[in-house]
Amino acid sequence: VGRASMEIRMQIADDQGDEWMEAYFTFVTLDPETKKPISMPALLPETNEERAHFELGALKAQAKKMARKNKLNLGQPLS
């Protein structure tokens, strides 16, 4: 969870509980008039499982920020 965005993890499982698909979606809170990102209320994890997901999300967000900072362009020639 960021100040104006939130990553949502969705899992799809069959009737036996076997997971067969997982996806991540990023939602951004926008001001309805300006269409610019605005701050949203903090979301607080309540269970140990939620805390673990929040911790993983924080690590992923940090890695994304580092990649942007280092301007890593995967698939681009190094010349």
- Render pLDDT for 31-64 as a digit per residue (tens, 0 to 9): 999 999 999 888 899 999 999 998 988 898 888 8
**Residue 77: pLDDT above 80?**
no
Average pLDDT across the chain, whole number: 86
- pTM comes to 0.62
For residue 79, is pLDDT > 70? no
- Residue 73's pLDDT is 59
Place of tokens 């610019």: 36
Looking at 1-79, which runs of residues are DSSP E strands?
5-13, 19-28
Buried b (16+ CB within 10 A) or exposed e, 16-48: eeeeeeeeeeeeeeeeeeeeeeeeeeeeeeeee
Structure tokens at 74: 């995967």
Amino acid at 13: A
Local confidence band at 74 (pLDDT 50, 70, 90 cut-offs): low
